[in-house]
Chain A
Amino acid sequence: MRKICFYFQVHQPYRLRTYRFFDIGKKHDYFDDYANKKIMLKVAEKCYLPANRMLLELIHKYEGKFKICFSISGTLLDQLEAYHPEVLKSFQQLAATGCVEFLAETYSHSLSALRSEGEFEQQVQLHHDKIKSLFGYEPEIFRNTELIYSDLIGHRVYNMGYKGMLTEGAKHVLGWKSPNYLYYNVLEPKLKLLLKNFRLSDDIAFRFSQKSWNEWPLTTEKYVGWLNQIGEQDEIVNLFMDYETFGEHQWADTGIFNFMRALPDRILKHSNFEFVTPSEAIEKLQPIAGMSAPSPISWADEERDLTAWLGNDLQDDAFNALYSMKQMMDDCKDAQLQKDWLYLQTSDNFYYMCTKFFSDGDVHMYFNHYPTPYEAYINYMNVISDFRIRLTHSSLLAKPAILKKEKAPAKKARKKTSTP
């Protein structure tokens, strides 16, 4: 049997409030609690609750034959705990069926893998522990923010104890190769790679309700027909998408829920595909080849690169300013600062500063509450300025220890220079 693997990304950022220059040094509440709660409740009603209900029904109906996998960011889990515990409970119910796998990721859906090895590892561990405590489950497979992947990141992930990783089946990396096989990391062949089939994934995630699409409306018959047309040798189809596809990006009245509700039946009856979770796929399949990505790829935009988050001056200045505090953060014991530090790293903050309006602008504007990237940048930098003041202040309070450390080498240095 050939495999089909569904993975849903579940994430919401902590959005910043309008934080003005005059607030710097005075106010330290950075996040728009009202907007965050409001959006959370809205998305819960439109997507999380009905979609979880639907998936739970499907799992029960097909008695173990229908399987899925989630990656839930720490920032979302924190917001669920604070604003909507009912949603969290419904995820826990799904976890209890044994047909749902949870992936590890960075706690705050951050870009730390691109900047700081130490921060990356800390965040993955933090998320790992969170998943374990909430779902009683030890993730074995890793998924990085926005499916960002490179050979080095994969290698690092393997060293952290994960067996497999999900990423994009980016054309410019795969070339003529098909994403419908299991691959491995070229630096560490023991790390298996599951690649997103972006055509079949995006048919659901992006094109489902597009009336200008010549395949609209999409039916399960048509979709399973496409699955059956896939090369006979191909072993696995990875359908990776945002969970908010259901009910939020594609509203309920587009028929997305009905489509998903009918899809398992159609697949199980009219194709030779079976549902697997990522760790089952890795167990059951043999990797066919190594996939090399010397520079990072992602699942975003046409380019499948990092330019949605990094690369323009606004983003790079903000990113540098943020991570220039990493060393100080390592010595920081203040719980509130640690929390803010995590939330400030969320990739969405940099996404808002993206200036690629023309090709992928529609998607970008949908997720952006700032009128322009310039406002996003200014707001973020004001917050960063205040954060650094607080961090500096807190490290000064812990000064005695630092002073002692610094004094000793200074003496040594002086001795050295005095000896000819």
Chain B
Amino acid sequence: MKVLMFGWEFPPHISGGLGTACYGLTKGMAYHNIEVVFVVPKAWGDEDQRAVRIVSAEQQTINVKDRSFIDHWSMLTYIEVSSSLVPYMSPEEFLRLTDVSRHDYLDLKESIIAENFSFSGTYGPDLFKEVARYALVAAKIARDHQHDVIHSHDWLTFPAGIAAKMVSGKPLFVHVHATEFDRSGEHVNQQVYEIERQGMLQADRVIAVSNRTRSVIIEKYGIDPDKVVTLHNAVAMGITHRERYESPLSEKIVTFLGRVTFQKGPEYFIEAAKKVLDVDRNVRFVMAGSGDMWQRMVELVAKLRIGEKFHFAGFLTGPEVKRMFDISSVYVMPSVSEPFGISPLEAMQNNVPVIISRQSGVSEVLDHAVKVDFWDIDAMADAIYALLHYKGISNMFAKMGYEEVEQLKWDNVAYKLMGIYKSIAK
């Protein structure tokens, strides 16, 4: 079986959980001898190429005289205007549009998709243009690379998956790691929502990273429940033999690690920190990450007068994240809305007890984690205090959590995914 997979980011250049998940999944698939052509918008030159063959969209030989290529472009530039056009386009229309020359707009030097695109703000027309460009190149790749199934990760790659399906006629699987409702609360971007919905409608199967996300897909996107399956994420094997970083600090450390955005609930972490510090000064809190709520969070910490015990570590790179886990006694993920949330699993791999919000998908698969509602700062503070002071529970969580997370392997996820593929592709 050969899978044509469209992604958005790939380690080491990742901004969130999607890249980590794609990486783990493709590795797991390689384990089961599934061939994957993984397409990312831009190859950085230093990806781990062991598990998959990376095709950079930019590296695609773009020959302007290649008529079919221009045809795809002209078709897909059209979706800049209406996001619903491609899914409804018939093969006849497809052919008819080959005569329309729209390739004048094609700037080959432009990056395929803006590199540092942030999920927090509003989307400009350029992003949609890039999404369309990506879809264009996807169609060409689909033509040039034989495959049995198509797999798209999140809305940015849905048009690419649809375009590929139109070219090859192979079944399409769209994988939903986050919906527009997770990113923007109730104030969804209608264009994004529509691209998501069309992707789900055109797909043969919609794969959700949690039951929670599956419900959103069914309820808010109106997708047939029979078509939507849950496939929980896993976590990549940690490096077992490495030197632990010793904390120079006498206080125990409680950590928040993630984008400082509405979705991640950073203010609840700060409010809980204040409650803990009111009774116990012998603890430090760290917020690592950046995001559009960062300044407000710094102000909140200052306002609560806890700045000496609450530190902002900024965005951490891979080795720094490990170091952070090494010195953490508790890891908190107070997400307001989290389709899955891999980072607690990474904390558990490092023997750090975790507190996660009930509003996270990962809470569906974990037993050895404290689960609280994101808004319940009293419960959160309670749990932090307990994990800091009551060795019985913290030792148990560290040990059992580690064992639990060891069972969450990408190999197993890939195996389940094969079953999902096989239910459609014959």
Question: A: which residues have CB within 8 A of B?
Answer: 20-22, 24-26, 312-314, 316-318, 320-321, 372, 374, 377-378, 381-382, 384-385, 388-389
A230 to B136, CA, bound (A): 77
Q: Could you say which residues of chain A place their CB within 8 Å of the CB of B305?
A: 313, 316-317, 320
A314 near B313 (CB under 8 angstroms)?
Answer: no
A317 to B247, CA, bound (A): 25
Q: Could you say which residues of chain A place their CB within 8 Å of the CB of B302?
A: 312-314, 316-318, 377
A314 to B301, CA, bound (A): 8
Q: Could you say which residues of chain B place their CB within 8 Å of the CB of A25?
A: 247-249
Q: Which of B250, B299, B309, B312 contacts A313 (CB 8 A)?
A: B299
Contact A388/B308 with A22-B313, A24-B249 known, Cβ cut-off 8 Å: yes
A26 to B250, CA, bound (A): 12
Q: Could you say which residues of chain A place their CB within 8 Å of the CB of B69?
A: none
A388 to B248, CA, bound (A): 14
CB distance from B252 to the nearest CB of A (A): 13
Is the C-beta of B352 less than 8 angstroms from some C-beta in chain A? Answer: no
B308 near A314 (CB under 8 angstroms)?
Answer: no
CB distance from A381 to the nearest CB of B (A): 4
B298: nearest chain-A partner, CB-CB: A374
B297: nearest chain-A partner, CB-CB: A374
CB distance from A219 to the nearest CB of B (A): 46
A384 near B247 (CB under 8 angstroms)?
Answer: no
Segment 290-335 of B: residues with Cβ below 8 Å from A? 294-295, 298-299, 301-303, 305-309, 311-314, 320, 323
B305: nearest chain-A partner, CB-CB: A317
Closest 4 CB pairs of A and B: A25-B248, A313-B302, A313-B303, A317-B302
Q: Which of A20, A378, A384, A385 contacts B298 (CB 8 A)?
A: A378
Q: Could you say which residues of chain B place their CB within 8 Å of the CB of A377?
A: 298, 302, 307
Interface contacts (Cβ under 8 Å), in number, total: 62
A313 to B305, CA, bound (A): 8
A377 to B313, CA, bound (A): 13
CB distance from A390 to the nearest CB of B (A): 11
Q: Could you say which residues of chain B place their CB within 8 Å of the CB of A378?
A: 298, 311-312
Q: Could you say which residues of chain A place their CB within 8 Å of the CB of B313?
A: 20-22
B303 near A385 (CB under 8 angstroms)?
Answer: no
Interface size on B, residues (CB 8 A): 24
Is the C-beta of B286 less than 8 angstroms from some C-beta in chain A? Answer: yes
B308 near A321 (CB under 8 angstroms)?
Answer: yes
Q: Could you say which residues of chain B place their CB within 8 Å of the CB of A372?
A: 295
A374 near B308 (CB under 8 angstroms)?
Answer: no
Q: Could you say which residues of chain A place their CB within 8 Å of the CB of B307?
A: 314, 317-318, 321, 377, 381
Q: Which of B248, B286, B309 contacts A26 (CB 8 A)?
A: B248
Q: List 14 A-B contacts (CB under 8 A).
A: A21-B311, A22-B323, A26-B248, A314-B298, A317-B302, A317-B303, A317-B306, A321-B308, A372-B295, A374-B294, A374-B298, A374-B299, A384-B308, A385-B308
A316 to B307, CA, bound (A): 10
Which residue of B247, B249, B306, B323 has the most chain A CB atoms within 10 A of its CB atom? B249
A382 near B311 (CB under 8 angstroms)?
Answer: yes
B308: nearest chain-A partner, CB-CB: A321
Contact A24/B248 with A374-B294, A384-B308 known, Cβ cut-off 8 Å: yes
CB distance from B211 to the nearest CB of A (A): 37
Beyond the given A22-B323, A320-B305, A374-B295, could you list 19 further A-B residue pairs with CB under 8 A, ordered by the A residue number? Answer: A20-B313, A20-B314, A21-B311, A24-B311, A25-B247, A25-B248, A313-B302, A313-B303, A314-B298, A316-B302, A317-B301, A317-B302, A317-B305, A317-B306, A317-B308, A374-B294, A381-B307, A381-B311, A385-B308
Q: Could you say which residues of chain A place their CB within 8 Å of the CB of B301?
A: 317
CB distance from A85 to the nearest CB of B (A): 37
A321 to B301, CA, bound (A): 13
Which residue of B305, B306, B323 has the most chain A CB atoms within 10 A of its CB atom? B305
* Interface bits B405-416 vs A (CB < 8 Å: 1, else 0): 000000000000
A128 to B60, CA, bound (A): 74
A385 to B309, CA, bound (A): 7
B249 near A389 (CB under 8 angstroms)?
Answer: yes
A314 to B309, CA, bound (A): 14
B312: nearest chain-A partner, CB-CB: A378
A21 near B312 (CB under 8 angstroms)?
Answer: yes
A377 to B307, CA, bound (A): 9
Q: Could you say which residues of chain A place their CB within 8 Å of the CB of B311?
A: 21, 24, 378, 381-382, 385
B314: nearest chain-A partner, CB-CB: A20
Segment 5-50 of B: residues with Cβ below 8 Å from A? none
A389 to B294, CA, bound (A): 27
A25: nearest chain-B partner, CB-CB: B248
A340 to B272, CA, bound (A): 33
Q: Could you say which residues of chain B place their CB within 8 Å of the CB of A389?
A: 249-250
Q: Could you say which residues of chain A place their CB within 8 Å of the CB of B295?
A: 372, 374
A20: nearest chain-B partner, CB-CB: B313
Q: Could you say which residues of chain A place their CB within 8 Å of the CB of B286?
A: 21
CB distance from B320 to the nearest CB of A (A): 8
B306: nearest chain-A partner, CB-CB: A317
A382: nearest chain-B partner, CB-CB: B311
A294 to B47, CA, bound (A): 66
* Interface bits B276-287 vs A (CB < 8 Å: 1, else 0): 000000001010
Q: Could you say which residues of chain A place their CB within 8 Å of the CB of B320?
A: 22
CB distance from B326 to the nearest CB of A (A): 11
A26: nearest chain-B partner, CB-CB: B248
CB distance from B269 to the nearest CB of A (A): 16
Contact A314/B299 with A378-B312, A384-B308 known, Cβ cut-off 8 Å: yes
Q: Could you say which residues of chain B place their CB within 8 Å of the CB of A320?
A: 305
A385 to B225, CA, bound (A): 54
Q: Could you say which residues of chain B place their CB within 8 Å of the CB of A388?
A: 308
CB distance from A304 to the nearest CB of B (A): 25
CB distance from A392 to the nearest CB of B (A): 9
CB distance from A327 to the nearest CB of B (A): 16
A314 to B295, CA, bound (A): 11
Q: Could you say which residues of chain B place their CB within 8 Å of the CB of A24?
A: 248-249, 311
